[in-house]
C-alpha cells in the first residue's frame, strides 16, 4: 500500500519545486508567474506532505533523502518570500507617533467585482470607513449609478465606467487640481493620475488596475505599466502613492523591482500579509490590493474590512503626511 502512494509524494515534491522556482525566473509567461501568489498555501501543502511522508517512510534511504531535500528546498524558497511580511520583521514604513504633526489621509480600495450586485454592502463599507479617498475598480455604468449617493459626501470625483472589468471610480474629500485618464500599455485598460491638495501640499496618486496573468494574456503589460509609473516617480519630488488592485503580490520580483526603482515603501512589510483577494474562498487568498507610498508618509493603520459581495476584501489604509 505504501509503495502505491509513494508516487503521490514524489509528484507533490516536483510540483512544489516547480511552483517555488518558476516565478523567480523573470519570465512574462502567465502559467509560470501565477505560482508566486499562493506562497503561504504552497508552504502549508508541502509541510503537511513532508510530515506525513516522514511518518510513513524511513528518511535514511537514498531515494527518500533526495525527496526530502526537494521538499526542504521548495519550502525554504516559498517561506523566504513571505517571511518579511510576518509581524515583527523589519518594517519599511514607520508608524506615526502620537501627537506627531501632519495631515491625515485615509484611502479605501475596493475591487467591487463587476458582476457583484450587492451595492448596499459596498456603500456601507465606504460610509463606515469614513475614508478621505475611495478608489474602486471593475465598475461599470450600473455601479456608477448605484454609488451616485457618494457624490454628496465626496465633492471631488472622477467616474470612469467601463465594461470588461476595466471601470474605475475615484472619490476624494480633499481638493483635486487635475486628473489624467491614461492608458499606459493597453488601449482598453485605464489608469488615473491624480494631483491632490493636502493642506497646501500637492500629492500625486497613481490609481491602477492592470490585467492579471491568465491564458492568452501574459504579464508584459503589467510589468511595463509598473515600470512606466516607477520611471515617472523617479523624476518627481513630491509626496506620492500608487494604489489599487495590482493583480500582483508584494513579494514578486516585479513589484520589488518597481518599489525600489520608484522609491516606495510597502506598509504591510513587518505587519502581516493582509490577504485582500479570496473573500469567496479563504484558502485561495493573497494580497493584491496595495498602497505603496513615498517616505513622506507615516502609517496610522491598515484594516481589512468585512466582505461586500466581491471576491476582494475592502482594504483601508490610514496614513499621515509629514510636514514639509
- For Cα atoms 301, 248, 147, give the angle at the middle one, nearest 5 degrees: 65
What local confidence, expressed as pLDDT, does residue 1 receive? Answer: 61
Residue 40 lies in domain: 2-85
Note whether 24 and 61 are same-domain residues.
yes
How much is the average pLDDT of 12-32?
A: 95
What local confidence, expressed as pLDDT, does residue 204 receive? Answer: 98
Please give the Cα distance from 187 to 190 (Å, whole number).
Answer: 7
Note whether 49 and 156 are same-domain residues.
no
The pTM score is 0.95
Dump pLDDT digits (tens) for 33-65: 999 999 999 999 999 999 998 888 876 665 688
Note whether 164 and 232 are same-domain residues.
yes
Report yes or no: 109 and 244 within 8 Å, Cβ to Cβ: yes
C-alpha grid cell, residue 191: 489608469
Note whether 70 and 217 are same-domain residues.
no
E strand or H helix at 320, and its extent? strand 315-321
List the CATH number of the domain containing 284.
3.60.10.10
CA-CA distances (angstroms) from residue 161 to 123, 142, 167, 170? 17, 8, 5, 11
Q: Is residue 93 part of a domain?
A: no
Q: Is residue 95 part of a domain?
A: no
Note whether 219 and 291 are same-domain residues.
yes
C-alpha grid cell, residue 252: 514578486
Note whether 253 and 156 are same-domain residues.
yes
Specify the number of domains making up the chain: 2
Please give the Cα distance from 78 to 134 (Å, whole number).
Answer: 33
Confidence of residue 215 (pLDDT cuts 50, 70, 90): confident
Q: Which residue, 85, 112, 142, sits at the end of a domain?
A: 85
Dump pLDDT digits (tens) for 173-203: 999 999 999 999 989 999 999 999 999 999 9
Asked if the model's pLDDT at residue 314 lies above 80, the reply is: yes
Q: Is residue 98 part of a domain?
A: no
Beta-carbon contacts of residue 2 (< 8 Å; ≥ 6 apart): 56, 57
Q: Is residue 136 part of a domain?
A: yes
3-state secondary structure of 231: helix
What mean pLDDT value characterizes the chain? 95
Residue of 264 and 62 predicted with greater confidence? 264
C-alpha grid cell, residue 23: 516565478
Q: Is residue 91 part of a domain?
A: no
Note whether 158 and 294 are same-domain residues.
yes
192 beta partners = 181, 207
Asked if the model's pLDDT at residue 3 lies above 90, the reply is: no
Please give the Cα distance from 316 to 302 (Å, whole number).
Answer: 6
Amino acid at each position: 500500500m505504501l509503495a502505491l502512494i509513494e508516487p503521490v509524494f514524489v509528484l507533490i515534491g516536483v510540483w512544489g519545486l516547480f511552483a517555488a522556482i518558476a516565478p523567480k525566473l523573470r519570465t512574462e509567461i502567465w502559467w509560470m508567474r501565477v505560482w508566486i501568489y499562493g506562497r503561504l498555501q504552497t508552504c502549508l501543502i508541502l509541510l503537511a506532505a513532508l510530515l506525513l511522508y516522514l511518518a510513513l517512510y524511513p528518511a535514511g534511504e537514498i531515494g527518500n533523502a533526495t525527496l526530502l531535500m526537494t521538499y526542504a528546498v521548495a519550502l525554504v524558497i516559498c517561506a523566504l518570500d513571505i517571511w518579511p511580511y510576518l509581524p515583527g520583521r523589519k518594517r519599511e514604513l514607520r508608524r506615526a507617533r502620537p501627537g506627531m504633526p501632519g495631515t491625515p489621509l485615509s484611502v479605501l480600495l475596493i475591487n467591487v467585482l463587476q458582476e457583484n450586485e450587492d451595492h448596499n454592502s459596498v456603500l456601507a463599507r465606504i460610509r463606515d470607513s469614513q475614508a478621505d479617498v475611495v478608489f474602486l475598480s471593475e465598475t461599470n455604468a450600473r455601479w456608477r449609478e448605484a454609488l451616485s449617493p457618494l457624490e454628496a459626501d465626496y465633492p471631488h470625483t472622477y467616474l470612469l465606467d467601463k465594461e470588461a472589468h476595466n471601470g474605475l471610480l475615484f472619490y476624494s474629500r480633499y481638493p483635486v487640481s487635475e486628473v489624467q485618464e491614461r492608458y499606459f500599455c493597453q488601449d482598453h485598460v485605464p489608469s488615473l493620475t491624480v494631483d491632490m491638495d493636502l493642506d497646501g501640499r500637492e500629492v500625486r496618486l497613481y490609481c491602477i488596475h492592470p490585467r492579471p496573468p491568465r491564458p492568452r494574456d501574459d504579464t508584459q503589460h503589467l510589468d511595463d505599466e509598473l515600470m512606466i509609473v516607477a520611471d515617472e516617480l523617479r523624476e518627481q519630488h513630491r509626496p506620492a502613492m500608487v494604489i489599487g488592485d495590482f493583480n500582483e503580490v508584494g513579494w514578486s520580483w516585479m513589484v520589488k523591482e518597481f518599489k525600489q526603482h520608484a522609491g516606495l515603501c510597502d506598509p504591510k512589510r513587518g505587519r502581516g500579509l493582509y490577504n485582500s483577494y479570496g473573500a469567496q474562498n479563504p484558502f485561495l487568498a493573497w494580497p493584491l490590493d496595495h498602497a505603496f507610498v513615498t517616505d513622506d508618509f507615516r502609517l496610522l493603520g491598515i484594516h481589512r474590512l468585512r466582505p461586500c459581495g466581491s471576491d476582494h476584501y475592502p482594504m483601508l489604509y490610514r496614513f499621515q503626511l509629514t510636514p514639509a
